[in-house]
Structure 1
Amino acid sequence: MKTGAETLSGPRIPAFNERSLLGSLAAIREDRLAFLLAVARQTGDIGSFRVGPVPMLLLNSSELVHAALVEHANDFDKGFIMRRAFRPVLGEGLFSSEGELHRRQRKIMAPAFQPRHIVNYAQTMVEYSERAQQTWRDGATLDVSREMMAVTMSIVGNVLFQTDVLAETDELGGALSLSLAYINYILSSFFPLPLNWPTERNKQTRQALDLLNRRMQKMIDERRASGENGDDFLSILLRARDEDGARMSDQQIKDEALTLFVAGHETTAAALTWTWFLLAQHPDIYQRLQHEVDTVLQGRSPTYADLSQLPYTLQVLKESMRLYPPSIALIRVALRPVKLGPYHLRKGQTIMIVPYTIQRRPDYFPNPEQFDPDHFQAENEAGLPRFAYLPFGAGPRICIGNHFALMEGHLLLATLAQRVSFTLLPGQQIIPDTDKTITIRPKYGLHMQIKRRGRSI
């Protein structure tokens, strides 16, 4: 059954061909990314589809993204479903909060994320990546997805809290995975059971959240007791005051810290995992990357000052995030009637922006399915429409840690590419998974063989 999406006036929005009374629910559950790509290719710049009885609009042009996320940012919020999914885990942190609270918190926290400040964390990022690779035996087989998660979690633990969580990555990682799986359960269920119901899933989720909150509170208490005036993000949050001189409550600090902890390692780990996967499939690009790193670094660890001399390394990272963007989708709900381009939307209309689809438009990226870091060669990148590439979102809610994440990914890629080579083990099913996490990860992990490198120029 094919239905159109009527707007208040203006052109009719193309409708995706749906034959089920439940709309596209089955297709979404089977392969979310493939379905969304099919909608984009069939409907163009904007298309409607249904998830059960819920109508959705997919925006798939840079102009419409700009209209929704920038021009009319205040005409949308994240909506009830997103709040229901994320607030039990992230509370009222930057990702979940809305309106005046979000503006206040972002203003307080923004100075800590300026490039001039995050430069101070470059050495820590390199030290932890060097430490991690030193434990990898030549010829060993590793789940690279798991290893990237461990090293980025350790880095974030240090720069956020000045604590070494390397020994706790299994425990913390397990708690985070359960918490993120709960978010995806809520997002993919019409009638999710409340968290206080005594199901096994809810019991495990509550235990995971309790562990995370206890760790956050312990770090807050220890920092206050020490009287230290550190440069980590937790210290900054504890010192922060708004324009009226008010400090954040412990609960708000925990919410912000947990949000930063989750987002600060999850996205970079996913980006690096897919980067190694793509490099292993394209040895010519891998060789070009390693030649750049070897030539510039001459066997030493990279520094922040080296990054400007490693442009191709950054191109590789950006291209990986084009094909496998960390964020699955940006969802917004219209607070009032709003016009996006020529299209008039009703109050309550849900829109979805999917980097995975918009970053595969052939008019934005020639040969869009091809892994080609030259898409981000300086001249090519300068010619892109402004919102054709949005791995960190856009507008006033753009990821506050985008500079941090790019610097971290750039440094880790350079460090590890110089020390080891990854070879993809044959016979694996490498399937992008969006069911259990808020990022795109390989469903069954990514198993690769390690070959330690000597210095070669």
Structure 2
Amino acid sequence: MTVDVAPNTAQKARSFPLYRTFSRFVRDPLRELERISRTADGEIARLDLGASHPYVVTHPDHVQQVLKSQAQNFVRDGTFWRPLHTLFGSSIMSEGEEWEVSKRVLQPVFSTKNVRALTESMAAAINQAVDTFEEPARAGRPISVLPEMGRIVNETVIKVLFGDKIRQAEAERLGPAMEQVATSIAFRFLLPFVPRRIPLPGDRAFGEAAKVMDETLYELVDRFRDDPGEGFDIFTALCRARMTEGSGLDDAWIRDNLLAMWATSTETTTVALTWIWPILDRHPEVAARLTAEIDAVVGTDRVRPDHLHRLPYVKQVIQELLRLYPIGWIFPRIAREATDLGGVPIKAGQTVLISPYLTHRLESVWERPLEFDPERFAPERARTHHRYAYFPFGGGPHMCIGRHVFNFEAELILTSILSRFRPRLSESIPIEPKIGATIRPRYDIEMTLVPARETA
């Protein structure tokens, strides 16, 4: 892999005027952004979107400047954050003092030590969720991948979010509501300039789902108002923080953070684990190596956290999966004060768009960027990567605090399924993404699970 020296003499961004890009943006906005990124090839691109003129920043040097060295100047605010602020309010997904308070409370929950302590219950939940595949596997009946991955992820995340404090009926309401929120917010996310008073497709479904989540979460908060009990889950940490004398925190703050952590822990992981199956179908050599490693380490056991350190290729597969399909595909920022990126002047108030999806696919940064190759993350090669050539969890002070949970969860789920089944896609489908709050597969995916011992 090679990284070109960042262009530092340019005084103008590469401009992409509306009259040349509009029709392509309407047909397929993600494909048009990919085309613009390839054309700019690491140069800063200026988009003309009519109501806005954001800069697209893809070169690792410039990304590092925005997310780390000038993080205090490039903040999570402005038009592009409007749909997310409506959902997450004053939470870990906000900015300034609100973000600092939430991070200070949540950071200990997501420490490596604490996450490792949670992995036993995560593994138990995952194994139990995967048990339900036995019946359709015996019957030869295909499963619908995205909702089934969502079910496993939801049952796992509940352990991290709520411990044993949430009732089954409450969990069963929250899961479908979050799925409805994730799909119905797409138009607001793609058209952030449209005022809320103008209805868009999905608004009604979003409102209905948000109401279900609010009712469920506020009822849960009220039930544990005076005694949140013990536990290392997120809900308990938030309740204890609110009860601290002089905290100034309220029920809405707990609700906002629970929704933020639920959304970032479920939708993103579900989508990532949906992409893996068509990719393995296209790369049988990767699938064969993966299952051979899992068979040698796990055998007929149920997957345990202590298996993971002996499954390096599982980790490499997940890392390469997140290179091609990062869980957060775009990070909007707005400049507080005037500055420059690579010699391009950025005025105060201007929007900058950072996209792991685009940076991870730059030919000037990655060799054969569109090929799926887990060997990129073999230890000796991974050390050669520019720090911001690969940033699926963001970077700098706003790096996702739940990244350790994702890594453990994704590796445990993939290992649990492949230790027991050999997935077969019902049909080979095009691997084409569609964009919204996350990047989902354009087409539904179905697969049949053949018991692993039948193929031995």
Q: Identify whether the pair has TM-score above 0.5, normalized to the shorter chain.
A: yes
CA shift, 1:240, in A, is 2.5
CA 1:102–1:179 in structure 2 vs 1: closer, same or farther (change >3 Å)? same
Q: Is residue 433–residue 440 contact of structure 1 (8 Å, CA) maintained in 2? A: yes
TM-score normalised by structure 1 residue count? 0.90
Q: Is residue 365–residue 375 contact of structure 1 (8 Å, CA) maintained in 2? A: no
**Post-superposition CA distance 1:186-221 (Å, at most 9, x none):** 2323653526x7888443322211110111112222
CA 1:316–1:167 in structure 2 vs 1: closer, same or farther (change >3 Å)? farther
Identify the residue that residue 427 of structure 2 maps to in structure 1: 426
Identify the residue that residue 149 of structure 1 maps to in structure 2: 150
Pair 1:301-2:302 in alignment: yes
After superposition, residues 103-114 of structure 1 pair within 5 angstroms as 103-114=100-111
CA 1:166–1:144 in structure 2 vs 1: closer, same or farther (change >3 Å)? farther
Separation (CA, whole Å) in 2 of partners of 1:242 and 1:64 = 42
Identify the residue that residue 191 of structure 2 maps to in structure 1: 189
Identify the residue that residue 330 of structure 1 maps to in structure 2: 331
Separation (CA, whole Å) in 2 of partners of 1:201 and 1:187 = 11
Separation (CA, whole Å) in 1 of partners of 2:161 and 2:37 = 38
CA 1:218–1:162 in structure 2 vs 1: closer, same or farther (change >3 Å)? farther
Identify the residue that residue 5 of structure 1 maps to in structure 2: none
CA shift, 1:104, in A, is 2.4
CA shift, 1:364, in A, is 3.1
**Post-superposition CA distance 1:112-159 (Å, at most 9, x none):** 111100112212222222222222222221111111111111111222
CA shift, 1:228, in A, is 2.0
Identify the residue that residue 74 of structure 1 maps to in structure 2: 72
CA shift, 1:79, in A, is 2.7
Q: Is residue 154–residue 165 contact of structure 1 (8 Å, CA) maintained in 2? A: no
User: Which amino acid in the other structure matches residue 233 of structure 2?
Assistant: D
CA shift, 1:372, in A, is 0.7
Matched residue SS, 1:441: strand
**Post-superposition CA distance 1:149-189 (Å, at most 9, x none):** 11111111222112567766774344223323453322323
User: Which amino acid in the other structure matches residue 121 of structure 2?
Assistant: T
CA 1:307–1:455 in structure 2 vs 1: closer, same or farther (change >3 Å)? farther
Separation (CA, whole Å) in 2 of partners of 1:445 and 1:267 = 17
Q: Is residue 129–residue 416 contact of structure 1 (8 Å, CA) maintained in 2? A: no
Q: Is residue 122–residue 411 contact of structure 1 (8 Å, CA) maintained in 2? A: no
RMSD: 2.5
Separation (CA, whole Å) in 1 of partners of 2:358 and 2:45 = 12
User: Which amino acid in the other structure matches residue 185 of structure 1?
Assistant: F
CA 1:199–1:31 in structure 2 vs 1: closer, same or farther (change >3 Å)? closer
Separation (CA, whole Å) in 1 of partners of 2:242 and 2:428 = 54
Specify every segment of 5 or more residues in structure 1 that has no aligned partner in the other structure, as ranges: 1-8
Q: Is residue 422–residue 450 contact of structure 1 (8 Å, CA) maintained in 2? A: yes
CA 1:199–1:64 in structure 2 vs 1: closer, same or farther (change >3 Å)? closer
Identify the residue that residue 46 of structure 2 maps to in structure 1: 48
Separation (CA, whole Å) in 2 of partners of 1:190 and 1:200 = 13
After superposition, residues 178-217 of structure 1 pair within 5 angstroms as 178-189=180-191, 192-194=194-196, 201-217=202-218
After superposition, residues 98-177 of structure 1 pair within 5 angstroms as 98-136=95-133, 137-138=136-137, 139-163=140-164, 171-177=173-179
User: Which amino acid in the other structure matches residue 29 of structure 1?
Assistant: V
Q: Is residue 324–residue 361 contact of structure 2 (8 Å, CA) maintained in 1? A: yes
User: Which amino acid in the other structure matches residue 70 of structure 1?
Assistant: K
**Post-superposition CA distance 1:311-370 (Å, at most 9, x none):** 000100111111111112111111110122322211122111111111112343221111
CA 1:243–1:384 in structure 2 vs 1: closer, same or farther (change >3 Å)? farther
Matched residue SS, 1:315: helix
Q: Is residue 326–residue 391 contact of structure 1 (8 Å, CA) maintained in 2? A: yes
Q: Is residue 123–residue 305 contact of structure 2 (8 Å, CA) maintained in 1? A: no
Separation (CA, whole Å) in 2 of partners of 1:68 and 1:358 = 14
Q: Is residue 150–residue 169 contact of structure 1 (8 Å, CA) maintained in 2? A: no
CA 1:245–1:301 in structure 2 vs 1: closer, same or farther (change >3 Å)? farther
**Which has the larger displacement, 32-41 or 127-136?**
127-136
CA 1:162–1:259 in structure 2 vs 1: closer, same or farther (change >3 Å)? same
CA shift, 1:226, in A, is 5.6
**Post-superposition CA distance 1:377-419 (Å, at most 9, x none):** 1111110000001111111111110111111111111111101
Say which of 75, 82, 102 aligns to 1:84: 82
Specify every segment of 5 or more residues in structure 2 that has no aligned partner in the other structure, as ranges: 1-8
CA 1:240–1:214 in structure 2 vs 1: closer, same or farther (change >3 Å)? same
Matched residue SS, 1:55: coil
Separation (CA, whole Å) in 2 of partners of 1:213 and 1:102 = 21
CA shift, 1:70, in A, is 0.6
Identify the residue that residue 411 of structure 2 maps to in structure 1: 410
Separation (CA, whole Å) in 1 of partners of 2:91 and 2:22 = 30
Separation (CA, whole Å) in 2 of partners of 1:275 and 1:444 = 14
Q: Is residue 293–residue 310 contact of structure 1 (8 Å, CA) maintained in 2? A: yes
Matched residue SS, 2:151: helix
User: Which amino acid in the other structure matches residue 293 of structure 2?
Assistant: E
Separation (CA, whole Å) in 2 of partners of 1:356 and 1:188 = 16
**Post-superposition CA distance 1:61-115 (Å, at most 9, x none):** 11000001111111122232134211221111111x1112212221222111111
CA 1:255–1:115 in structure 2 vs 1: closer, same or farther (change >3 Å)? same
Pair 1:442-2:432 in alignment: no
Identify the residue that residue 11 of structure 2 maps to in structure 1: 11
Separation (CA, whole Å) in 2 of partners of 1:255 and 1:58 = 29
CA 1:79–1:89 in structure 2 vs 1: closer, same or farther (change >3 Å)? same
CA 1:243–1:76 in structure 2 vs 1: closer, same or farther (change >3 Å)? farther
**Which has the larger displacement, 54-63 or 240-249?**
240-249
Identify the residue that residue 398 of structure 1 maps to in structure 2: 399
User: Which amino acid in the other structure matches residue 13 of structure 2?
Assistant: I
Separation (CA, whole Å) in 1 of partners of 2:289 and 2:72 = 45
Matched residue SS, 1:449: strand
TM-score normalised by structure 2 residue count? 0.90
CA shift, 1:429, in A, is 5.0
